[in-house]
Amino acid sequence: MKTADLPSFMLAQQPTALFNARGWIGLAAFALLVAVVVPVLFLAVPADNPLHLSAYSVTLIGKIMCYCVVAVAMNLIWGYAGILSLGHGVFFALGGYAFGMYLMRMIGHEGQYQSDLPDFMVFLDWKAYPWYWSFTDHFWYAATLVVLAPALLAFVFGFFAFRSRIRGVYFSIITQAMTFAFMLLFFRNDTGFGGNNGFTDFKRVLGFRIADPATRATLFAITGLYLIGALVLCQALVRSKFGRVLTAVRDSETRVMFSGYNPLWYKLFVWILSAVLCGIAGALYVPQVGIINPSEMSPANSIEIAIWVAVGGRGTLLGPVLGAGIVNAAKSFFTQSFPEYWLFFLGMLFILVTLFLPKGVVGAINLLGKRK
């Protein structure tokens, strides 16, 4: 079926284009910034120069870009499919743990106990790796696991939930229960994932020392380019026939079913894609931040992801990026300067956005543009 053959109410679902001429120029400029400008300012500019970027700044921006990808993935299912997930943190953490297993294997005898096993396994008197750690010392196997682990969980969970037509607040509640259950599971020492401390003290990736500035700059550039790739992919998806059907499912799922479409497969596909995007973001997050633990799966973290999207503008492509950047930059400032007030600020921000900026920052910018 061609796009023109879609029912009239689906033809009306036309998302705003992101990549006009100025949009592509902006993307090219951003790619140049993350792949060339920032690495040069970090590696080549002397530390006493005011233009120098510190390792802390590069790590912080890299971490925020990982969060931006998660916000884009969240917006894909919430903004365009109408599926509010309060458990997306579990997909992010699974990708991080999958790649963290590889990083832990790369420590080798450089750990505290100078053993082939990670320090936490030696401390717990483990004699060998559990079976699910097999082959995790191979980079490409770990990279495949980064994709398959969140994808498999998303498929199993999504298939039964969507087939049972669970939606709305009920779906949000069970996703929150899912991430809470995984958090409790990974907190256990006998699961082989480091318990409440998780994985940390990474040394190498692909033979390169993670602490080396060149490695940090490379990870930063890869993260920025991945964010661009995620935006381009989501733009192509939501502007296609698939995206129009998906938006129609959000607005009137029953009407879509009467038009001869099965919403199950549309929702399941975008749900799995969103989970995979989060998993890869988690894998890029771990070597840059240097730690992954079960707190990444906490329900509070997943709720915060939804706040990023709401602040930036749900149903837009750039909105979630702005929302994640604004909230996490504010979080970095408040947790350093006024740590006791951060949660109050976050709650106030969400209330103000809900009352006065229902379409988020992007919606406010568009409204101001129309008034001019």
Q: What is the pLDDT of residue 255?
A: 86
CB-based contact 151:277 (threshold 8 Å): no
Dump pLDDT digits (tens) for 180-202.
999 999 999 889 999 999 999 99
Domain locations in the chain? 22-371
When pLDDT is cut at 50, 70 and 90, the band that residue 5 belongs to is: low
Angle at which helices 299-312 and 169-187 cross, to 10°: 140
Q: What is the mean pLDDT of residues 99-128?
A: 87
Q: What is the mean pLDDT of the chain?
A: 89
When pLDDT is cut at 50, 70 and 90, the band that residue 251 belongs to is: confident
Token representation of residue 228: 């661009």
**Going by C-beta distance under 8 Å and a sequence separation of 6 or more, which residues neighbour residue 355?**
none
When pLDDT is cut at 50, 70 and 90, the band that residue 88 belongs to is: very high
Q: What is the pLDDT of residue 105?
A: 93
Whether 49 has a pLDDT exceeding 60, the answer reads yes
Q: CA-to-CA distance for 116 and 128, rounded, in angstroms?
A: 9
When pLDDT is cut at 50, 70 and 90, the band that residue 42 belongs to is: very high
Q: In 3-state terms, what secondary structure has residue 238? A: helix
Q: What is the pLDDT of residue 267?
A: 95
Mean pLDDT check: name the lowest of 116-125, 175-184, 200-209: 116-125
Q: What is the mean pLDDT of residues 69-96?
A: 95
Q: CA-to-CA distance for 216 and 224, rounded, in angstroms?
A: 12
String of DSSP letters for 17-74: PS-SHHHHHHHHHHHHIIIIIHHHHHHTS-TTSTTPPPHHHHHHHHHHHHHHHHHHHH
CB-based contact 267:158 (threshold 8 Å): yes
- pTM exceeding the 0.85 threshold for the entire prediction: yes
Report which of 221, 193, 213 is spatially closest to residue 292, judged by C-alpha positions: 193
When pLDDT is cut at 50, 70 and 90, the band that residue 124 belongs to is: confident
Q: What is the pLDDT of residue 101?
A: 96
Q: What is the pLDDT of residue 1?
A: 47
Rounded to a whole number, what is the largest CA-CA distance in the chain? 69
Beta bridge partners of 205: 208
Q: What is the pLDDT of residue 10?
A: 53
When pLDDT is cut at 50, 70 and 90, the band that residue 2 belongs to is: low
Kindly state the percentage of the chain with pLDDT values over 90: 61
Beta bridge partners of 209: 204
Dump pLDDT digits (tens) for 305-317.
999 999 998 888 8
- Determine if residue 82 is left, alpha or beta; phi over 0 gives left, psi from -120 to 50 gives alpha, anything else beta: left
Whether 221 has a pLDDT exceeding 90, the answer reads yes
Q: CA-to-CA distance for 268 and 298, rounded, in angstroms?
A: 24
Whether 67 has a pLDDT exceeding 90, the answer reads yes
